[in-house]
Amino acid sequence: MRLPPAPATRTPVQLPRIYDRAASYHFPPPPSPLQVRALAAATISSLLEGPAPRAILAVAEARTATSRAPVRGFLTLSLSLGQLLLALHTGLLAAVSREPSALALPAVLRALVVLVGATPYERLPPELLPQIISTLRASWASLNSPSSSSASSSSSSSHPAQAISPAELAPIHAAYLACLAECFSTKQPIPGLAAHLQGPEGGAAAAHMLAELLALGRDPGQPAVLRIEALGALKGIAAHYAFVMPGGMW
């Protein structure tokens, strides 16, 4: 009976050749920090998109924005998902305020749009949705007006507005408007946002925002995507928060 051949082994003479081949192989360079941030935002969007993740996140719940999970004891699924959503909001809003690259910022805003669409704000702290809108408007004002960003050093936004060209602002502007439209287009009116818009500070900001959205939607010289997103935000406001619209608008 013949025995099977012994497995081939590497001789000491062959080992240096194998090492030389491995050393001569050109490995791809590691991704840059900019690519890592953009890919991280794209990954968040992919994980939150679709009916299955939204069905799971629909049971999320959190009492306050500062609540933390207990160190010991049982934590329900709804509270665990609520903590997850609060952490995602904190991270993405910080990225919106501080992201200096015009290449990564649209990906961050895209992730925020998906997150807003998947979040049950009626089960989360009432100040969460107004915080998103305030952060979006402050960040866009910082990007669109370098003088205002340099003058307001106490602001949480730290965009280097001079590093982004006017041509790069167009897709970012469209992404900001898409975020606003998603905030106002929830399935039902959010009491926390309604109370914020009825307050003195929120009402003044809403009136200024309405004027901007109307001017943008009426301007035929603006790109179609900007006008569509502006009209989408106005549609959400008219459907859920019509009390902020002046009577003469109708």
| Annotated domain spans of the chain | 36-65+76-149+159-249
What tokens were used for 7? 């497995």
Sign of CA dihedral 135, 120, 89, 101: negative
pLDDT at 17: 58
The span from the CA of 75 to the CA of 56, in Å, is 16
In this structure, what is the dihedral angle of CA atoms 102, 104, 110, 111, given to the nearest 10 degrees? Answer: -150
**Mean of the pLDDT values across residues 64-81?**
72
Q: How confident is the model at residue 32 (pLDDT cuts 50, 70, 90)?
A: confident
**How many other C-beta atoms can be found within 10 angstroms of the C-beta atom of residue 6?**
6
Pick from 31-40, 95-104, 151-160: least confident? 151-160
pLDDT at 165: 74
> Which pairs from 6-14 meet CB under 8 Å and 24+ separation?
none
What tokens were used for 150? 């340099």
pLDDT at 142: 84
Average pLDDT, the chain: 82
Which DSSP symbol is given to 164? S
- pLDDT at residue 67 is higher than 90: no
What tokens were used for 228? 């569509």
The span from the CA of 99 to the CA of 106, in Å, is 10
Encoded amino acid at 3, one letter:
L
In order, the DSSP letters of 20-84 are: HHHHHS-PPPPPPHHHHHHHHHHHHHHHH-SHHHHHHHTT---S-TT----SSS---HHHHHHHH
- pLDDT at residue 249 is higher than 80: no
Which H/E stretch holds residue 179? Answer: helix 166-184
The span from the CA of 247 to the CA of 250, in Å, is 6
pLDDT at 200: 86
pTM, two decimal places: 0.79
The span from the CA of 110 to the CA of 117, in Å, is 11
pLDDT, tens digit, 9 for 90 and up, residues 153-212: 434 445 554 456 777 888 899 999 999 999 999 999 999 999 999 988 888 889 899 999
Tokens 């469209």, located at residue? 174
